[in-house]
Amino acid sequence: MLRRLRRHLTLLCALITGAILCGMALFMLRSSERQLIQSSRITLEGNVNAIVYRLRSEQVLDWDWLSQTEAAERLIIHISESGHPLHYPGSWQPLTGRERLIALGQEKAAKLGARRTGEDAFMEPEEVRTTIFELWGDMGERYLCASVYIPMNRSYRELLLLRDMRALDGQIVSQRLLYAGLVGASVLLLALFGWWFSGHALRPVAESQRRQSEFIAAASHELRTPLAVIGTSAEALEYETTPRGKPFAGAIVRECRSAARLVDELLTLAGADSKGLTLQKGPVEPEELLKSAAATFRPLAERRGQQMRCLLHLSPLPVLCGDEARLMQALGIFLDNAVSYTPEGGVITLSAQKAPHAVLLIVSDNGPGISDEHKPHVFERFYRADPARSKKEHYGLGMSIAKEIVRLHGGQIELGDTPGGGLTVTIRLPLG
């Protein structure tokens, strides 16, 4: 139980700190990416200003300067004058063809209203107008583009500038991977710290639980002998005493048996808490297990006016690997509950069937059953459901013991409703 609590505390710590770290990392990453994008935009605007200055101040463009500018800044420069393009081949070849990128850029610039065509291009002079947008090539690469309209004397020039953003995109991806790695490593370290801290915090509780289990085991062992002596003496006294004293002797015998049962249950749970509840595994035949359990409880059921049925398949079931005595103990707990709570004239059915990779042992009765709100809690220690299923001789430990035995076998217990009323308990035991 404490180990499960420790895992839950560690998981909770990791989730909370992970969520906080992720939020901080996303905020910082977003701010950093915005700065990188803004810096790239400012650089592009600087390139635009430098080229526009050359276009407005020089009548003849220097191709060497254009080539150096393109290569240094990973730019694609396209210039046209009064609608006639300048035949400049460029200094490098992008992933998508150069002419294709220029056509895509001009098309998008026209859609954005950044280009003037036909008679509109020769309207009254105006200031230099720049439109910046993004463009994707055929290979998925990204470009930051600037379409610039430059009015001249009785003419105009147009500049289309494309900046290759692969280097920036690679930097952004690397930065994201770095942040993700740092966050993951931080969460892992915090989880390890949470595991250590929760273990350190729960150590006194574990020590107290260990001492409590040791005390219960020691006290239970010490109680066994006097209870046996009192019970044996009371049984003898029941036959020797006067008729008036027989009820008192009988009450002593019943209470001694109830106390002895409680001692046995406490010893079993103390062994489970201290990891001392072990299994002596061997081959177990489900049919023989059912027949033995039915034979043990049939006399008790008949004394209460109940019918005990054991349903066996014609074809043999797979042999289980388990502790037959412990499995009989678990079955006995459910059969004892069924006999205790099934009314006179009721039917208790014990059966088995094969499931995928498992064998199901089923105990069903037609008693009052257990409501759905109580089913998740019946395996808790000392828990009792509604008064209809709370007898004085049951202390709320049997279901916990049965669950522990089945868990040690790698199985599960399922609670359901019997058609027509009652409780059906299914023990799922894995094969192998």
Q: What is the pLDDT of residue 128?
A: 83
Joined together, the tokens standing for residue 203 give 């150590």
> Strands 347-355, 307-311: parallel, antiparallel or unpaired by DSSP?
parallel
Could you give phi then psi for residue 323, rounded to 5 degrees?
Answer: -95, 105
CA angle 117, 121, 125 (to 5 degrees): 160
Give me the amino acid identity at 182: L
Q: What is the pLDDT of residue 390?
A: 45
Domain ranges of the chain: 72-164, 198-273, 282-430
Q: What is the pLDDT of residue 121?
A: 47
The closest of 312, 299, 318 to 351, measured between CA atoms, is: 312
Name 263's Cβ contacts closer than 8 Å, sequence gap at least 6: 220, 223, 224, 227
Q: What is the pLDDT of residue 394?
A: 52
3-class DSSP state of 267: helix
**Domain covering 282-430: architecture:** 2-Layer Sandwich (3.30)
Kindly tell me the number of DSSP H helices and DSSP E strands found in the chain: 8, 12
Alpha-carbon distances of 376 from 74, 265, 275, 372, 401, rounded to whole Å: 67, 21, 24, 8, 16
What region, left, alpha or beta, does residue 357 occupy, with left being phi > 0 and alpha being psi -120 to 50 degrees? Answer: left
Mean pLDDT in order along the chain per 10 residues (432 residues): 80 88 91 90 90 82 84 89 83 89 90 64 64 90 91 82 91 91 90 86 74 63 66 71 71 70 65 64 89 87 88 84 86 86 88 89 87 78 53 62 85 87 89 78
Name 390's Cβ contacts closer than 8 Å, sequence gap at least 6: 384
Joined together, the tokens standing for residue 415 give 């609670």
Global pTM reads 0.52
| Cβ atoms 155, 81 nearer than 8 A | yes
CA dist 403 and 282 (Å) reads 20
Alpha-carbon distances of 75 from 119, 143, 144, 336, 399, rounded to whole Å: 30, 9, 10, 86, 77
Total number of residues shown for the chain = 432
Q: Residue 129 CB: number of other CB atoms within 10 A?
A: 13
Joined together, the tokens standing for residue 282 give 């061997």
Say how far residue 3 (Cα) sits from the centre of its chain: 17
CA dist 348 and 425 (Å) reads 11
Q: What is the pLDDT of residue 276?
A: 56
Joined together, the tokens standing for residue 222 give 């010490």
Q: What is the pLDDT of residue 30?
A: 92
Q: Hey, CA dihedral for 363, 368, 370, 371, is it positive or negative? A: positive
